Structure formats: C-alpha cells, structure tokens
Amino acid sequence: MPKEIVIVGAVAVGPKVACRLKRLEPEANITLIDRDDLISYGGCGIPYYVGGDINDLEDLYSTSSHAVRDQAFFENCKGINVLTRVEAVEIDRNGKKLKVKHLESGEEESLGYDKLVLATGASPVIPPFPGGDLPRVFTLADLHDAEKIKKLMSQGRVGTAAVIGAGAIGLEISEALADLWGIETTLIEMEDQVLPTILGKCIARIAAKEMEKKGVNLLLSERVLQITGREGSDGCVVKTSNNVLSVDIVVLAAGVRPNTELAQNAGLSVGISGGIVVDRRMRTSDPNIYAGGDCVELQNLVSGENTLMALGSLANRQGRVIATNISGGQSHFRGTVGTFCLKIFDLGISKAGLTYRQAKLTGFDPVYAAVAQADHAHFYPSSEMTYISLIADRRSRKILGVEAAGKNGDAVKARVDAVAVLLKYGVDVDDVCGLETGYAPPFASAMDVINNAGNALDNILAGSNRPIDAADFLFDFAHKEIKVLDIRGEKEAVPFLQKYGSRWLNIPQDQLRSRVAEVPQNEPLFLLCDTGPRSYEAQVYLSSQGITDTFNIQGGFAMIIATDPEFI
C-alpha cells in the first residue's frame, strides 16, 4: 500500500517535503494543502518586489527555468495533489485524519494520513495599540499584501510612510519605500537600536547610520501609542511617545509569531519560545506528525537553548530532513547557530551566533573585539572597509558570535560564514586567529580581517589591549573633558587639533618613543589611529613606560566615522 502523506502549508517546507518525498517514494500519495491560492513563493523576496528590484510578482513563485509553481505545476510536473484555499481545521491523532475546510464553498472533509507534516509558518505580530486594523495599515504576511502596497505606490498615492519595527523586514521595506519610490519614510523602533534581536550595538550603529544617510527618518527608543485615520483623506496619523506623524501608509514589521493553534489543539507539545517542539528528526511529540519551518522551535547550538528562527534557508533544509525520515531514512537537523545576512542600501550585514546581550542573558561572561579593515588587500582598487565584531566568553575563550558590515556584501557574508560553520563545534579564539582562508589581493589581505578580529580579541582577553567601543568613546568625549592621543600623521590630525584644541594631542607613531615625556600620565587617555592596530601598539609601549590609564578606540577613526560621520 502506498503511503498517504498530508502536508499542511505550501510555501517553503511543505513543497520541499512533497517534492523530495515524491523522488524517494514515487508511489506515495502526497496531498499538499494551503489556505491561500498563491503557493511555493519566496517570501524573503517580498521587500525586493515592493522596492522594484523584482519587477514581476510571478518571479517570486517561479522556478529558475521560469515555470510557475502553481497547482497545475505540482500536479503535472511533480505528481503531487494540491488543494488551495483549503484550511486545516482539526487533527484526529487517534484516527490519523485531518479535518479540512474548503474556504470557497464552506465544505468540510477528512483526509486520512500515514504521516502528517505541519508547515503552518508564522503570522505577523499585530501590536496591541489601537488602529492596527485600519485600511491603510499593512503587514507583509504574503504576496497579496505586497501587491496592495505596490499598487498604491504605482498609482502615486503614497508620498509618506511609517514602518513600525526595525527588525530585518522593517529595514528592508524601509529601503524599498525610500530608495526606488522616493517615499518619505519614518522607521520607528521601541528599542534603542535597529535589529535589536540580530546585532549588538556596535554593528547596529553602522546599519542605523546607513539608513539615515539614505534619507530614512529613524526614531529609536520610541513607542507607538495609537494609529488613527487621517481626516479628509486616505492615510493615517501615528502617535508615538514623542511624535505625531501624518502618513499615507503604515507598515507593521514588529516580528512574527508561529502558527501553532492546530498543533496545540491536537495536544502536541509547544515549547517555551512558542514554537512546536520537534526532535532532531523533525518529529513532534506524535511520531506520526512532523513539523518544520517558522512554526517550530530549534536548538541554538551556541547557547543550548531553544529558539525560533524564521528563515527560508533553514526551512528548506528541514524539509529535506523530514522527507528523508518519512521514507525510512535517518537524517537529523541538529539545530541552528542563527546565521543571517541582509542588504541595507549599499551596506551588507551578516551575523552568526549570539549578540553580546544574548550571551549575557544566557549566562556567559561575554567580551568582544571590534575591528575595521579593508576586505581586500588595502592597495587593491576595489577594496572597501569591513567592520567586524567578534564575541567570546571571557572564561572559556569560546567564540559566541560574529557580526560584520561592509559595502562588499559578498565579502561580509564570506567572513561570517567562515566562522558560522565552526560555532557548533565550540570553536575558540585561537581557532579564529589561525583560521585558514583563501588569499589573493582581489579577495583578501594576507592577514584576513577575520584573523585580525581574532587577534584583537586574543589581546583583549590577555589584558594587553584595553579597549573602548567607538560609540562609547564618542559619548564620553561629548560629555566629559577627556583627551585623545592621535598617533596618526600630522596631516590627518590637523582638523581635529583645530576643532578640539588642547583635548586633542597628536604624536605620530614614529615620534612616540622620542616624545613620550609629552604624554599625560595623570589622566585617562584615549588612543586613536586609522583602524586600531597602531593605537594598540602605542598602548603596549605606553604601558611599558608606566602609562597605563589608556583606552584603545576599537576600529579607530574608521569605526568612529562609520558610527558618527559628523564627528569631524
């Protein structure tokens, strides 16, 4: 008897399970259901469709050979039965039946199964303030939302917009609105940084400056209190804790929540993070029911805790594991280190592992190094500055996370990927210092930026590098009478000497040993060079001369300018 497989959800995990399982067991009867009529699309591409990078909505649900992944495609090309506009209502675990409802007719029926797969995804979080259901308030839950927003913009009916939530979707849709369409866009975030669950403050500040540089009005540490309709015209009035904004549309990007109601009603285990609990074979607490994608919680392989991770890349890998195991194989999905990448205007962002704050909350004693260095050989014409933050546990020296930003997004992603694949093995600082990477001037420096991030962190842990974050330095410099020792050349230092006077001391590196008597010894001193290594050497030398109250500005002048372009 051929197996009867029913899959609930036809966006990412569901189609992957169905297609692989059909290749493994061509005789299996596979039914794929979804409450929508648009299926198997790339949801991560929605902001790029809204922004115009992708012109045709159909491109998001087409194959690389331009075949449209619709109901007929799955039935004719894959041999998979697809039911669209059908909602899963109830699971009868004892009888191994799934009750479904046809949304167009209201008719209900039961589908028998040998194995059931839940790929129910996640839904946008609708914040509890009034007005979230107004006609000009949108989410980006699916392709229909994207089409509505783009239609309004193409008709010239959107000149101003507010985006609520500065997570990945919030940043991507803000870029989409502001870049191609020239819409005056305000991004509102209740936390004090962008990407608060993804990045630490160091790299997040660089991302925020890129947004502001490209014209996005950024409101951080600000809560939305209510949204009301705008009198006399279409649009909304957004009242926050500090502002009142009149805009044509509002986009809610406050995160997503896993769709687990069907699983919970069937008595399946749901974890503390809110996702369906699965084992390494992607089985739920019922061995005949599998689950994957945005609706499940996964083990974080760095912290050991369970977490939600809504990424299409993980969903597709989980789909393969599910199909293999349903067909009798022994495939495991062990968890995630949270590898992530993002494009923000001209800036590439990537991260893996824990942020500093997440590491601290998990019980580690985190410390980090922040470095700035050219991604290619510094003399190669196309080189661009890359900024990396590397985080480790102070006691064990275990690497906990890595974050990076830079204009060459592929180079940024490559550095993070190199560390990401090692995180689940408990890689330590020494491993990153000695990490073998490819070298040629068009691609990297002989001592790669990721190696130097490890070296800087090793020096910090050893106590020879006493650092201060560039943003912390900027805050202290603005609020305290502190002094800087600039060891760059005289030409580079002149504008700062003119602007800051006696607070700015310039002794070029090649003169430091002969002029060490000029260095103040009875007050804190902040050391600066272009990117950090020379000021570190100066710190080591000054320590040997008994001058120890010094702080090396991490990433040097390059990090300061990336954090605060108006400093000079």
End-to-end Cα separation, the chain, in angstroms: 76
Q: What is the mean pLDDT of residues 319-342?
A: 95
> Per DSSP, which regions of 113-262 are E strands?
115-118, 122-124, 137-138, 160-164, 184-188, 217-219, 224-229, 236-240, 244-247, 249-252, 256-258
Q: What is the pLDDT of residue 395?
A: 95
Query: pLDDT digit string (tens) for 25-51?
Result: 999 999 999 999 888 777 787 777 777
Q: What is the mean pLDDT of residues 170-177?
A: 93
Assigned CATH for 340-461: 3.50.50.60
Q: What is the mean pLDDT of residues 387-396?
A: 97
Q: What is the mean pLDDT of residues 203-214?
A: 95
Which overall architecture, per CATH, does domain 137-254 show?
A: 3-Layer(bba) Sandwich (3.50)
| 340 within 8 A of 168, measured Cβ to Cβ | yes
| 237 within 8 A of 129, measured Cβ to Cβ | no
Q: What is the pLDDT of residue 52?
A: 73
The residues annotated with a catalytic role in the active site are 44
> In the β-sheet with 217-219, what is the strand arrangement from edge to edge?
137-138, 249-252, 160-164, 184-188, 217-219
Q: What is the pLDDT of residue 522?
A: 84
Q: What is the mean pLDDT of residues 19-23?
A: 95
User: Which CATH fold topology does 4-122+257-326 show?
Assistant: FAD/NAD(P)-binding domain (3.50.50)
Residue 70 pLDDT > 90: no
Cα gap 266→222, rounded to integer Å: 40
Highest mean pLDDT among 57-71, 169-183, 529-543: 529-543
The number of angstroms, rounded, from the C-alpha of 517 to the middle of its chain's C-alpha atoms is 48
Higher pLDDT, 102 or 150: 102
Residue 475 pLDDT > 80: yes
Give the pLDDT band of residue 428 (cuts 50, 70, 90): very high
CA distances from 26 to 21, 75, 318, 397 (A): 8, 13, 20, 50
Chain-wide mean pLDDT for the chain?
93
Q: What is the mean pLDDT of residues 177-205?
A: 93
Residue 144 pLDDT > 90: no
Cα gap 376→449, rounded to integer Å: 9
Instruction: Out of 39-48, 377-386, 429-438, pick the least confident.
Output: 39-48
Same fold, 4-122+257-326 and 467-567: no
Q: What is the pLDDT of residue 435?
A: 93
CA atoms within 13 A on the CB side of 48: 14
Residue 527 pLDDT > 90: yes
Cα gap 522→538, rounded to integer Å: 17
192 C-beta neighbours (distance < 10 Å), count: 11
CATH homologous superfamily for the domain 467-567: Rhodanese-like domain (3.40.250.10)
* Domain parsing of the chain, residue ranges: 4-122+257-326, 137-254, 340-461, 467-567
Q: What is the pLDDT of residue 449?
A: 94
Give the pLDDT band of residue 218 (cuts 50, 70, 90): very high
As given in the structure block, the two tokens for residue 317 are 């890998």
